[in-house]
Amino acid sequence: MTDEDSLLGWLPLFLAARGEQPTVDWGYMGGERFIEPFCHDTLQKLASRPFNRLFRRQSGLELLRQRARSHPGLPLKGMVFHMSRCGSTLAAQWLAALPDSVVLSEPEPLDTLLQWPVRDSGVETVRALLAAMGQARREGDASLFLKTDCWHMAHIDRLLSAFPGTPWIFLYRDPLEVLVSHRRMPGWHLVPGSMAGHGLHPPDELRNFPLGHGAWIMSGVLQQARQAMARHGNGLLLNYSELPEALETRLAGHFGVDLSHLDHEILRAVGRRHSKQGHAAFQADAAEKRAAADAEMLELEARWLNEPYQLLEHLRLGQSRRLETH
């Protein structure tokens, strides 16, 4: 039995750079699925189990790459990029409700890998990591989908190069509503200096201004989405205002999902639930968020976010008109 064969049912829990040698820590998952809104929650549970604490395995990146050649995993059928707080988790949960899908929602090992030098994180290694995480979990699994972190737009060229021709979407939302959401519950990219590993370095004036730091990061994300639409084919823009209906009417077709034999009510029920709190019902909050915006948020929107948002909206509306005429 080869080392690759002995990893059947195992997957990377996390990556680490120990000295000059990058390593992979493997944990046993068996036939379980990623069902939580984020991969991190599933991986944390796996890492805390007694078996994985006692028998966790460790390897270099070469074994990861070797195993991908013999166990290539499910074909990647779509990638979800996003602005943050704009419905991407809903899209991931909707895809996870498909009967033949495996969905990787913001997998932490990928975030680690993308921050390493390209010699350790080239396209072959990116493919190998997703192959290891994207194995079939049950009989009938046929499709893999990836939802990235919002700042991974900085790496969209590398990700699309690793999976050429793969359809992708960019989800975004009125930036004022996103700022209100982050004021109430700050995301990681609001922490000054947190994005340096991804090559994102906001101006020094924002070093002690978390919300401004986040606005600058999101401005770059919106600009990168517009540039990616010009550089790469197979891209689709979706605004939060189009959800959840657009999951069936636009995302499904773009990702090649055949809905003809599926229970549409099960899929629509996903859209009626809060994507991060499954026990709660979804409630539209756009008007409430805009009403809660203060002068500081309005200034940030005007300075960093409104122009790239409007440019994307112009592109999206043109794309929608072209799709309607075909």
DSSP state letters, 261-311: TS-HHHHHHHHTB-SS-TTSBP---HHHHHHH--HHHHHHIIIIIHHHHHH
- Rounded to the nearest integer, the mean pLDDT of the chain is 92
Characterize the bridge pairing of strands 168-172 and 76-82: parallel
| The pLDDT of residue 20 is above 80 | no
Q: What angle do CA 157, 220, 202 make, to 5 degrees?
A: 115
Sheet of strand 101-105, all strands in order from the earlier edge strand to the far edge: 101-105, 143-147, 76-82, 168-172, 235-239
Q: Which pLDDT score is estimated for 274?
A: 57
* Angle, helices 264-271/88-96, rounded to nearest 10 degrees: 150
Q: What angle do CA 291, 296, 299 make, to 5 degrees?
A: 95
CB 302: neighbour CB atoms within 10 A?
12
CA dist 135 and 31 (Å) reads 10
Q: Tens digit of pLDDT for each residue in 111-154?
A: 999 999 988 999 999 999 999 999 998 889 999 999 999 999 99
pTM value is 0.94
Can you tell me whether residue 9 is helix, strand or coil? coil
CA dist 238 and 235 (Å) reads 10
What's the residue count for the chain?
Answer: 326
Q: Which pLDDT score is estimated for 81?
A: 98
Reading the block at residue 292, the tokens are 């809660």
Phi, psi (degrees; rounded to nearest 5) at 301: -60, -45
Which range (33-37, 63-67, 133-137) has the least confidence?
Answer: 33-37
| The pLDDT of residue 4 is above 70 | no
CA dist 64 and 59 (Å) reads 8
Domains in the chain: boundaries: 76-324
Reading the block at residue 65, the tokens are 């790459």
| The pLDDT of residue 234 is above 90 | yes
| The pLDDT of residue 202 is above 70 | yes
State the CATH class of domain 76-324. Answer: alpha beta
Please compute Rg for the chain using Cα positions. Answer: 20
Reading the block at residue 61, the tokens are 């990146």
CA dist 130 and 297 (Å) reads 38
- % of the chain surpassing 90 pLDDT: 82
Q: Which pLDDT score is estimated for 276?
A: 58
- % of the chain surpassing 70 pLDDT: 95
The confidence band for 266, taking pLDDT boundaries of 50, 70 and 90, is: confident
Which range (68-82, 241-255, 273-287, 294-308) has the least confidence?
Answer: 273-287
Spell out where the chain has E strands. Answer: 10-18, 21-28, 57-60, 76-82, 101-105, 143-147, 168-172, 235-239
Residue appearing with tokens 């995301």: 187
